[in-house]
Amino acid sequence: MAHTPQERYSNLVLAKLRATSIFAGLFNTRYEGTPTAGAVKIPVRDTEVAVGDYNKSKGGTLSEGSTAYKTLPIDKDKYVNELIDGFDAESVPDNLVADRLDSAGYSMGVSLDSELVNLCATTGTALSGTAALTKSNIYEDIVDAVQTAKKKHINVNEMWLAVTNDTYATLLKSDQFIHASQLGDSVIQSGVVGRIAGVNVYESDNIDDKLNVQYILGNNVFCHYVAEWMVPVAINDLKDGAHIGASAVQGRQCYGDMISRPETVLVKKKASA
């Protein structure tokens, strides 16, 4: 019977994590292998499948695969170990369990977003110029960045744009910016705050000021994130000798992240303070 609550609790935490985290849903989560084993293989599309002219007598030249594989170490761990004092595992009220799981998912989502933002900001390619963006130049600046990404053979539908709170405030003052309310309720519900040159825009308050970032133009092809529960979430009795009549929400998730082609993630920096 323990397996069913663990699976349900883990799914509830993941649901909250995904609702909280912007970047977890924007990264490529495809992989081959078992994350809990310590590493997985991720497919990296270096070139497209070759197409040639067929010769009826000689056939066609066999080309090598257009997809290479890179090893992604699953070398990071997050855990939840929240005390529930005064209740053993069997007697914890449902509303208290729900509150703890909701809080765990939220905290993990914020932590994960901060890490993935840092990965993009430090591994991606900085765009030229660090002048402050204004309502007069911001739209054109982002359009130019999208064109640069296109030249890296990234499709517009594969791109995403993450902006800081300050950058979003500047965008709202631009007459050219297409706000989410003009795109429909379904777009707003997905976390998109607008669109520029066909690219969905997301506002994030987890882009630390210390990174000096104005926006990040990434993609869901070469930004990778893979996670799996090492220990599924459960309500467990504490038997450490120090706690009496207490339990805890406990779980452990392992994960790894990587940008396999840094030149496809474009970062607009601002002048260092």
- Over the chain (273 residues), what is each successive 10-residue block's mean pLDDT? 69 87 93 95 71 72 69 94 90 90 91 95 94 93 97 95 96 89 68 91 93 96 95 90 89 95 96 66
On whether residue 53 sits in a domain, the answer given is: no
Task: Evaluate whether residue 187 is within a structural domain.
Answer: yes
CA–CA gap between residue 202 and residue 190 (Å, rounded): 10
Predicted pLDDT at 181: 75
- For the packed helices 94-123 and 3-20, what is the interaxial angle rounded to 10 degrees? 50
Please tell me the total count of domains within the chain.
Answer: 1
pLDDT at 196: 95
pTM of the model: 0.84
Domain assignment present for 64: no
Q: What is the CATH number of the domain that holds 122?
A: 3.90.1690
Cβ within 8 Å of residue 4, ≥6 positions away: none
Tell me which amino acid residue 27 is.
F
**Residue 220, in any domain of the structure:** yes
3-class SS of residue 226 = strand
- Any domain includes 196: yes
Place of tokens 């998109």: 192
Domain that holds residue 201: 3-46+71-269
Domain presence at residue 58 = no
Pair type for strands 213-219 and 223-237: unpaired
Contact indicator for 188, 181 with CB cutoff of 8 Å: yes
Per the domain annotation, does 56 fall within a domain?
no
What is the reported pLDDT for 47?
Answer: 57
pLDDT of residue 116: 96
Judge whether 245 lies within some domain.
Answer: yes
